[in-house]
Structure 1
Amino acid sequence: MKNELDLTKVLHAYETVISKGTPTEHGKMYEGVEAFSDYDGYSVYLRGNGVELKVGFHNTYHLDYDQEHLRDSFLKKVSMLAK
């Protein structure tokens, strides 16, 4: 996997989940991906299947996962949601 994520696609996926998803305790869920933001809206989160992606201020990000195959599967789903 390349070191950089296309954060524009990630943010498009976030918007897709927020606009089409069903409400959860923290945000919205769509196609197995939950999207939510922190209280000030500066950081947005996508999570699902044991993976969490945080996109912060100035397009920084942190990807938290235990297994690479889960990360890869999650990022494919995020890419699909961005279309």
Structure 2
Amino acid sequence: MKNDLEPAKVLLAYEKIIKNGTETEFGKIYQGVEAYSDYDGYTVYMKGNGVELKMGFHNTYHLEYEQERLKEAFIKKVLLLADEKS
């Protein structure tokens, strides 16, 4: 898999969603991206618009999606969130 995301950017976006988002059943949602983690916090999840990102221990990640254009839009959104001034 091509390395589309920098783990540091993913974690920045995750933190912004958790800080600024509104409560959901699993975590928080902010600007259309939902973020949550497993019980111990070692695995974080972000999802939106038909794409789910799972980032685990040692900054490995996996993207699930059905259409390439949805993946690209999701990655763009995550990077925008990471670069956004809080």
Instruction: Give the TM-score range, shorter chain.
Output: over 0.9
Task: Determine the structure 2 residue equivalent to 1:63.
Answer: 63
SS at match of 1:82: helix
Q: Distance in 2 between matches of 1:48 and 1:56?
A: 18
Q: Do structure 1's residue 49 and structure 2's residue 44 form an aligned pair?
A: no
SS at match of 1:69: helix
What TM-score does the superposition give when structure 1 sets the normalisation length? 0.96
Q: Distance in 2 between matches of 1:46 and 1:55?
A: 9
- RMSD of Structure 2 on Structure 1 (CA): 1.0
Residues 22-74 of structure 1 show CA distances to partners (whole Å, capped at 9, x for unaligned) of: 00000000000000000111000110000000000011111000000000000
Task: Determine the structure 1 residue equivalent to 2:11.
Answer: 11
Q: Distance in 1 between matches of 2:11 and 2:46?
A: 9
Identity of aligned residues (%): 63
